[in-house]
Structure formats: structure tokens, C-alpha cells
Structure 1
């Protein structure tokens, strides 16, 4: 399981921002933030919530309690099964090219991708056996 400090470092790297920039945006001391990433200290509850909000992930994800960045409640109407299908779909190399920037995309773009995915899945559900895609 991924540790808090590893997950924090990974999320910051995905956003392509420095420790200083993140610290400035959230009102932290850079040295304190650096200790979070090295695992030398843990943030208090309010700081943990700020970090989760900034990275748009759950606190459970930051703490390594789950590998799902967002809870099913946060997944814009997706239930757990739909969220699992969506994650499997975007992680498939054949589909991934379209969804490759999903995790780094702004929330509005991620919502658009989820809507497109739902539309694709609805079309597939209505397809009869032997029928080619798009018919």
C-alpha cells in the first residue's frame, strides 16, 4: 500500500508544481510541507483536508486507506460498479489515449469525460449480440 508521503509527492508531481508553489498556494511553510513528503511529520486534520481539497482526492486516498482517489459520492453520480468500470476502461491501453489526461484534467473536463463514458456504456448495453459497434 502506498504511504501518505509517497502519495503526496506523486500528486504534487502530477500537478507539475514545486513544493514552494504548493506551500504558497495553501499557506504552508515550505520546510513543513517538505517534511510531509519525506515522512518526517504528519499534517494535522485541517491541513490534511486542505491537501485533499487541493488535489481533489479523499483524505482516505491521501492516507493510503484506499486506492480510489475519490469516493463514490464524489464521483458525480457514479455508483461503485460504474466507477470501477470507468477506471478499468480508462486504464485500458486501447481506450487510454482518449482518457490519458483524466487525472490531471480540471474538474469540468473530467466531468465531460465521465459523461462521454456513460454514453458509450449505454450504447453498448443496448447492442444486441453479433451486432457491430455503431449499428
Structure 2
């Protein structure tokens, strides 16, 4: 599946308009539309990161790459597998902890 299809699927699953996504990440509605249609071929890594953060997915999932193929740190992969085995409500607790740590680090 292409980046364009993933973006469109994530946006519609979240029931967001193009404008809502654009406003949330600081991009234009037209640019988000171009990404979803596949006509914008090389989005910046910063834009990809913002989209992944907004949709709460990894960059690798957003762009269709498997973390195992990238040689990611083995400890991170083990952590991922551990988190994957948890109940969804327990995963949400970890998500909230990480969001809090990111806010604290950014000074927000």
C-alpha cells in the first residue's frame, strides 16, 4: 500500500477532514490532498514525522517499511513485541506516559 493510501485510510478512520489534518500539522489543505493523491512525491521528513505523530503511528508504518528490515535496535524491537502483547488499555497507559514525557521535554 502506498503512502497516499495509508494517509487517506488513517484520515478517514479518524474521521478527519483534509483541513483538520492540515491545521493540526501546519500544512496546507492542498498539500495534504496532493499527498493523498500521490502527486506530491517527496514530502519532507519533518512533514512525515508530523503526520505520523498526528495519526499516532510510527513513521515506518506510515511509509510502509517494516522495523525489522531497518536493523532497528534489538531492544526496541523486544519492547515493541512486549507492548504488542499487552491489553489495549495497558498500551494506552504507555502511550499516555510517552506523551507526558514528550510534553515535559518540550517544555509545554
The runs of at least 4 aligned residues of structure 1 exceeding 4 Å deviation read 71-74
Shift of 1:25: 1.6
Question: What is the TM-score of this pair, normalised by structure 2?
Answer: 0.64
| 1:10 paired residue number | 9
Q: Number of matched residues?
A: 88
Return the structure number with greater relative CO, CA threshold 8 A, min gap 6: 2
What 5-or-longer segments of structure 1 have no aligned partner?
A: 91-101, 103-107, 113-135
Whether 1:50 aligns to 2:31 is no
> Distance between the aligned counterparts of 1:35 and 1:81, measured in 2?
37
Report matched runs for 1:68-79 at 5 Å.
73=76, 78-79=79-80
Task: Choose between structure 1 and 2: higher helix proportion.
Answer: 2
The Cα RMSD (Å) is: 3.3
1:26–1:79 distance in 2 versus 1, CA, 3 Å: closer
> Distance between the aligned counterparts of 1:26 and 1:44, measured in 2?
13
* Secondary structure of the structure 2 residue equivalent to 1:80: helix
What 5-or-longer segments of structure 2 have no aligned partner?
A: 94-108
* Secondary structure of the structure 2 residue equivalent to 1:31: helix
Question: What is the TM-score of this pair, normalised by structure 1?
Answer: 0.53
